[in-house]
Amino acid sequence: MEKRELDICVVSDLHLGTFGCHAKELNDYLKSISPKRLVLNGDIIDIWNFRKRYFPKSHLKVVRTILKMAANGVQIDYLTGNHDEALRRFVGFDLGNIKLSNKLIIDQDDKQIWIFHGDVFDISIQQAKFIAKLGGWGYDLLIWINRIINLYLEKRGKEKYSLSKRIKDSVKKAVKFIADFEDVAAELAIEKGYDYVICGHIHQPQIRRVKRGKKSTVYMNSGDWVENLSALEYSNGKWSLYTHPVVKLDDESEDDDIIEFSPKELMDDIVEVRIKSA
């Protein structure tokens, strides 16, 4: 399969290790592109909701694909989010082409791009972390219930339904939070003189120009791989939003392309990254 060449690809909110993550589609997407730089903008591995009994093979395959990309020369920037905040103590660590940071500034085609996850704007996380974690667990349960409902609807030939989107759209505070989040990010970017600002966190894919007087910036959000299956792509001097098709629920069993997959294979991939980057 011929891969699409990209200068930059940004994905966020993968939530690997949770029921909601569309790992199969994510792995298919990563294998379909050939970016010079891949930015993982937070909430990649969901440490908040991590369970030893739930990290299926399809999720490990995503990790392995990312390691393979790094070994093949792709610059990987892992930016921490709130669900993988435990990694913040290791900021500055790098493994060849993989670098761990809290934020990133990229100079591309005479433009400055400011990238960070965005949880710093979320008061519920900063001041009431335990409640925010409970909300994360509840969200994961809601996604699991939603998948059961959609399996039933698909078998009856009816259109799938998103419970979480319906709840978000019906709660005025949620809608206002998203709008406020986007405005704050854009205003800070304008104040700092950045041409683009890219966030994750709120799971709302977006590209829009924000003006404040004579100054402006382009606010972008890469969405997520729980509901929207979206990514930001930069190629030929332009940013665009990509949305990946959802695999039919009854076809969502483990892939057959790799029959056996062990931790040793994962360690071999890590060693390969280190050797090729040396």
Packed helices 23-32 and 57-71: angle between N→C axes, nearest 10 degrees: 20
| pLDDT at 273 > cutoff 80 | no
Q: If we measure between CA atoms, which residue out of 157, 109, 114 comes closest to residue 101?
A: 114
Residue 28 domain boundaries = 4-277
**Residue 256 — pLDDT band, cuts 50, 70, 90?**
very low
Q: Average pLDDT of 52-64?
A: 84
- Predicted confidence at residue 180, as pLDDT, reads 80
- Predicted confidence at residue 255, as pLDDT, reads 47
Q: Average pLDDT of 235-243?
A: 97
Strand residue runs (E) in 102-249? 103-108, 111-116, 196-199, 206-212, 215-221, 230-235, 238-243
| pLDDT at 130 > cutoff 50 | no
Q: Average pLDDT of 35-60?
A: 85
**Percent of residues, the chain, with pLDDT higher than 70:** 67
Q: Average pLDDT of 145-149?
A: 65
CA dihedral 242, 205, 209, 181 (to 10 degrees): -160
Q: If we measure between CA atoms, which residue out of 39, 119, 35 comes closest to residue 72?
A: 35
Model confidence over 189-237: pLDDT tens digits? 999 999 999 999 989 999 999 999 999 999 999 999 998 999 999 999 9
The three-class DSSP label of residue 216 is: strand
The DSSP letter of residue 229 is -
Gap between the Cα atoms of 29 and 31, Å rounded: 5
Q: Residue 151 maps to which CATH number?
A: 3.60.21.10
> Contact, 83 vs 49, CB < 8 A?
yes
Q: Which residue has the higher pLDDT, 207 or 268?
A: 207
DSSP H helices, 156-262, are 163-170, 172-192
> Contact, 125 vs 108, CB < 8 A?
no
- Predicted confidence at residue 124, as pLDDT, reads 44
Domains: count for the chain: 1
Q: Average pLDDT of 91-103?
A: 90
Name the residue with tokens 């966020």.
Answer: 12
